[in-house]
A and B are shown apart, each in its own frame.
Chain A
Amino acid sequence: MRLRVRRLGGLAGVKVGADVDTDDLPGGHTPALDDALRGLAWGSESAAPHPDAFRYELTKLDDPDRPSVIVGEHEVPSELHPLLDAARERGEVES
């Protein structure tokens, strides 16, 4: 599954984005990852819980009709942390 991951907010105020194929993650596309993705409230947006908080916007690239979801950094299920780590490592700052 291909996902677009964008990190929003933070002290620096820069947006960092990357496309990640979940098959390329260190543990691969596991059932736990699948469950965690299915459990997200797609189409919803979390408010920043405090100033300068990170939020993550996830978009399913293989399902363009599905709305994205924006999740606060402390609400991201641990099963998705490898996804965010991969996005951070290869992410590029959007100008």
Chain B
Amino acid sequence: MCDHNPLHCILPPGVLRRLADSGADEVRKAALSTLALDTQFRVARAEAAARRGGRSAQAVTFARIGGTPQRTVYDQGHKQAQVPGKVSRSEGQDAVSDASINQAYDGLGATYDYYWSCYERDSIDGQGLPLLGLVHYGSNYDNAFWDNAGHMFFGDGDGKLLTDTTAGIDVIGHELTHGVTQHEANLVYSGQSGALNESISDVFGIQVKQRALKQSSDQSDWLIGAEIVGPELKPALRSMKAPGTANPHDDQPADMGGYVDGGDVHTNSGIPNRAFSVVATTLGGNSWDAAGPIWYAACADPNLRSTASFSQFAALTLKHAKQSYGETSSQADAVSAGWEAVKVPL
């Protein structure tokens, strides 16, 4: 293993960094090259370790009659503490004076209702996981995220890039769907599986919004984050119908011709996003009538691996379209057309 250069062995990164800082030119170059390689391995290992969940980790809990969420919304008071702050609204309580608290409560409820009504999925984990929303997180924090540990954090935005993130019902659906993915295929958050992870969150996030607004596929604008963007990112974060056109900085490709090797997961997610919007609009009606259930079945399919490529995921959507609606059904044809439109081979 150490035939060519002793640095390509088991030297810890600290030693490599000291060599890179102080060694002779040849040693310094070798140390930097080894550090770069070492970093790739360490990032991959850390990413794998951070991905808690997956089907094998699903707990079998007590019998529960689903259909009702268990929401608690906390006020973080603009602190960046990772633990829940002051309880502001619990399940069944009346609205409070803080609009952000109420928006988070309603968005968590709309997402729970979508998954329960469409798939009888009892919360994120299918086992009634309580939904905890942590609002007013940080100072001018322009982000929202699911922490893989049962909490959704909402920033108030900096007013330039993002505004109050509780205002985006699609954003809440997006983040909670990261939790659903965590409990299903647990897709690795890099490369094509990472872009799929992001796309699946957009796909179900937009459905949560469309369903709450009673919008058909034709009536929807297919924009993600339109209600939470500040002036620099107007009119939206992403366009599922026309990736690359959502705002002046939008770099999403619309098909595999523009696929970015090594690109960010939020960049290449435009490709499967568009495939879904094509399928849903080709079929007409509501996206959660057929297109959504086909995507959901693919996400919940035990054959969807954590490192899935676009093609592997696409093949599963076609399999479920044929199984549910027939080999020569309009649904199966629409799925084929969707992936063909974005040049993902089936």
Contact = CB atoms under 8 A, between A and B. Distances in A.
B143 A11 contact: yes
A42 to B, nearest CB: 6
A10 B143 contact: yes
Contacts of A54: 143
B326 interface: no
B36 interface: yes
A67 interface: yes
A12 B266 CA distance: 8
Contact of A51 (B39, B46, B189): B189
A43 B46 CA distance: 16
B162 interface: yes
B39 A45 contact: yes
Interface residues of A, number: 30
Given A12-B237, A14-B249, A43 B17 contact: yes
Interface string A59-88: 000000011000000100000000000001
Interface string B16-47: 11001100000000001001100100111011
B91 interface: no
A35 B37 CA distance: 27
Interface in B259-292: 264-267
Chain B interface size band reads: 35 or more
Interface in B218-251: 225, 229, 232-233, 237-238, 248-249, 251
29 contacts: A8-B264, A9-B264, A11-B143, A11-B144, A12-B143, A12-B225, A12-B266, A13-B237, A13-B238, A14-B161, A15-B264, A43-B16, A43-B35, A43-B39, A45-B43, A47-B46, A48-B50, A50-B50, A51-B145, A51-B148, A51-B197, A53-B145, A54-B143, A66-B21, A67-B20, A74-B82, A88-B140, A93-B249, A95-B251
Given A46-B43, A47-B189, 12 more contacts: A11-B165, A12-B162, A12-B233, A13-B264, A14-B233, A16-B161, A49-B50, A50-B147, A51-B178, A52-B178, A53-B145, A94-B249
A41 interface: yes
A95 B248 contact: yes
B158 A50 contact: no
Which 8 A-B pairs rank lowest in CB-CB distance, beginning with the nearest? A13-B266, A47-B46, A47-B47, A52-B145, A43-B35, A51-B178, A50-B148, A10-B143
B43 A51 contact: no
Nearest to A54: B143
B42 A44 contact: yes
Contacts of A14: 161, 233, 249
B161 A93 contact: yes
Contact of B171 (A11, A45, A67, A95): A11
Interface string A1-45: 000000011111111100000000000000000000000011111
A55 B18 CA distance: 24
Interface string B70-86: 00000000000010000
